[in-house]
Homo-oligomer: A and B are copies of this chain.
Amino acid sequence: MTALGGLTAALDWIGLVVFAASGALVASRKQMDIFGFALLATATGIGGGTLRDILLGQTPVGWVQRPAPLIACVVVAAMVFFSAHILQSRMRLLLWLDAAGLALFAVTGAELAMSTGAGVVPSVVMGVVTATFGGIIRDILGGETPIILSREIYVTAALAAALVFVLSRRAGIGAETALMAGFGVGFVLRGAALHWGWSLPRYRERPGR
């Protein structure tokens, strides 16, 4: 992780924790041992932000010098390992944690890109990359179908969150308001899609027939 402002840093931490928990839940579905939980939680929690930092040239990546994010991911993994069996629906929780992480990393990824001087389009794309690649890495390592292929609104929610944040900032709105607005739009959109099964029109081979 790179140096971030106060609220951005806080949201980035929450994103890391919820993504780590979603990684540990995938490990629970695969009946892995506790160090398998730790690997999946860590890769999911820091994966998106690590890719973001590599693309921005912010290397060595932050956790090489400061171990706190790594320790947080391992602690989350251990908590899930010993408590996930009491949950009614792990898949449901996994999807909601992923939704929160998606909306959080979309705004913090975009904020970080803007802070390096990137324009509107690259900042939005960096938000989407940061938001989606933690989940992509989790699903690949866990041998699951990538969540980006799910029928409900997914990439769109990350895009909406990043876009609202970046355009708000460009319109002169303060960073904290823009962060919360972007996160709110992305999380509500993905949450509504999860709850009501919303999806955008999908490609069909022969529309109109």
List A residues at the B interface (Cβ < 8 Å). Answer: 27-28, 30-39, 42, 50, 54-57, 59-61, 63-67, 70-71, 81, 84-85, 113, 116-122, 125-126, 128, 132, 136, 140-143, 145-146, 148-149, 153-156, 159, 199-207
17 further A-B contacts with Cβ under 8 Å, apart from A50-B55, A142-B149, are: A31-B202, A31-B203, A32-B202, A33-B155, A33-B156, A33-B200, A33-B202, A33-B203, A36-B154, A42-B125, A55-B60, A65-B117, A65-B118, A67-B120, A67-B121, A67-B122, A85-B204
Q: Which 6 A-B pairs have the closest CB atoms?
A: A57-B59, A67-B121, A33-B200, A57-B60, A35-B156, A35-B155
Copies in the complex: 3
Check if A63 sits within 8 Å of B32, measured CB to CB.
Answer: no
Chain B residues, CB < 8 A from A159: 35, 38
